[in-house]
Structure 1
Amino acid sequence: MTTKAYLRKPNSKGLSPISIWYTHRHKWFAVSVGISVEPDHFDKETGRVKRTHDSYSLMNAAIEQVKTRLMNHALKLLINGVDPSVEAVSKLYGGKVLSTELDAVNEIKRDTQAHTPPITTTKFDFHKILEIYSKGNQDISVNTTKQYNLLRNNLLKFEEKKSYPLSFEGMDDDFFEAYSDFLLFDLDYYNNSWHKSVGLLKGFLNWAQDKHSVSTVNPRCSRWKSYNEEKDIIYLNLEELDKLYTFNWDDVKRKYVDLFVLACDTGFRISDLFRSRLWRLEDGMIYTTTKKTKGAAKVPITPRIAEILKRYDSDMRVASEQKANKYIKECIDEIGLNNDVTILRYKRKKEFESVRKRCDLVTLHCGRRSFISNCFARGFTETEILEMIGSKDLRTMKRYLKIETEKLVSRMAS
């Protein structure tokens, strides 16, 4: 049993209606999709509308919807022990059950009842499974659950705004192109966010297959390709950190500055800073296991680190990440680190240039970048830096590394 789209003869306007063949045992019947297209925009080999047509995504979605409905009827018959003949599928598609075709089922499954047994469906409820996935479970973090919810919200927005019905079997290359365009241009994502969203979607589809035995996931999804790009590294050098820390802050802003400076002096992520009460302070070192990668990190305790930890009794849960990121921008601006920075971003391979204030680009995660770059400037080796931040991935570490222009110039002159 197979299905394939084909074109009927053009009408007076030169448009050819699209129909679907259902074929089984060398017999066939056809049903109309309800749309027409210029013959030049239709690929006879694949049975799909070409990308040269403005509405190719929606047209191909309509084609897939009819094909899926036909195949679901055929599978219903198979499950009930009935041959999915063209006559039986045709009757089911038209809303009528061919009683003579189902007599065999009655003979096999009839016990004390004389009625036809219910016909079950093999179509997996995409929305229901997506909702289950978005709720997460106790084994994943709150942030990961937020990402799952974002995936669900984006998919539902896409379905509503683009009138593109979501289904596991319908997630083919046309869906991927349409969904990617939605993320990049409707939601104004750039490559990194697009790449992350595609990864989340692939993760969901893999989970649906593994945990819910969904067998209708379109295999084309494994070939989806998205782009990732290197982020511009924003960090504070040693002089700028000293200026930030020694400024006369009020009690409210002081806690935001201390949290940021501690991130810059240790290289720890915010998740590890919030677990400072669990750090082991011994022999002038901080020892901890990083929450994200489970790596063993150890950082020397400087006088400034010791002063900050003493001020908060070694408990750095002084502010939420969201509030800290908001107010640290104001603090960076207040000490004059607000020069213009040109940022290059990409959507697929198209480049977009924007000018931003440096202070507006600073977040707590810049602390890790500052630590790695400043350690390198001080003369620490790559192995030593990896040892301190609790990582073994040199490639990942280099993404955080920024070498100051002045260092390059001075070394070249020497």
Structure 2
Amino acid sequence: MARYSFRLPDIGEGIAEAEIVAWHVKIGERVEEDAQLADMMTDKATVEMESPVSGIVVELAGEVGDLIPIGSTLAVIETDAEGDVEAPPVDTAVEAQIEAETPGAEQVSEPKVTELTSSAAEPETAAKPSETPPVPAAPAVVTGHDAKVLASPAVRARAKDLGVDLGQVHSDGDRIRHADLDAFLRYSSGQGYHSPGASRARADEPVKVIGMRRKIAENMAASKRAIPHFTYVDEMDVTALEEMRADLNANRGQRPKLTMLPFLIVAICRTIPQFPMINARYDDDAGVVTRYGAVHLGMATQTHAGLMVPVIRDAQDKNVWQLASEIGRLAEAARTGKAKVDELSGSTLTITSLGPLGGIATTPVINRPEVAIIGPNKIVERPVFDGDDIRRAKLMNLSISCDHRVVDGWDAASYVQALKRLVETPVLLFAD
């Protein structure tokens, strides 16, 4: 018998450590080659670690929530080979395969590492939409709601052990994955899920803050601790803009349906040259504010794993149809865990919207090290005075939070007034 020491590979982002967000094996269990060992989270992505060998798990590095240094032993697996095997460090990021020879044994490949960017990403083995999903050699027997759900035998076995009906688990993909089950368990343990008719008090349950939720907590705390926020809110009449949007959608053909967001992004980009301090980043340590010429717009997106901010690159160069396509593509990638690391970084300004849930006004938290974040709120219909007449109007409040070290209140108010002029006279959005 031999012991194979699997060391945490370099995931390729220049990081020193990664957090354990899920174990898929236990000590004493048998694991097969290429089966999932653990999910590890970096600053931007969740990465699946797969076993390079088959054998019995005899050691695990820590518990969920622990930080593990790159290059340290993540798991020790007892194999049928002779002698102990030390896994070499891995230098490449994604799907790196490094062969290690052991005395009297065949070459063993280093694990395939699949970049997910959120805990809801599909495994590398998931079937493409145009292909027929592979059928497991020994499918699990399923009854009830579970029979209608696509899931691997491992997911079904885990759900059975937990007493979870897979028919109640939501997935954005074509099948239920471990990440979907994890998300269901988080919500069902007191963070938002309530079974039908539940009204009795339940026992208090501590929920460990790990993974994406911990990253969000750390980033938001750092932002509020380091940045003196102020928020300015103003009301806009979007009646004419909504009429234009309806006309464009009625004649869109094969192009994507337009929401309010692409129009707002066009307005934001057209006003930035007059107010360059809004599209900037502040380096606290160097005491330098960099005002960017291009608008790389972060788009706050709610996912099952938590809030993510995919980035629309060079938003100033895109028209409303191109923006609508990019918004849809990035939102889908974030929600299904397919967004790439470079699509989740490098924003110079962020927009955050709750859509119909937007409320009267918001006070959004700045996406540090940016200096501003814009938050459109929901559209409501109200009567307004138009001279001596009263007319029906569609109104929307728009919020902007700014870093007071960089942006003064007058500047923020002036910027929003410039936005308001474009939004309330939408033909100007398309004028040179």
Fold shared per TM-score above 0.5: no
- Which TM-score applies when normalising by structure 2? 0.19
More helix by share: 1
Tell which has more relative contact order, 1 or 2 (C-alpha 8 A, sep 6+): 2
- Which TM-score applies when normalising by structure 1? 0.20
Max Rg structure: 1
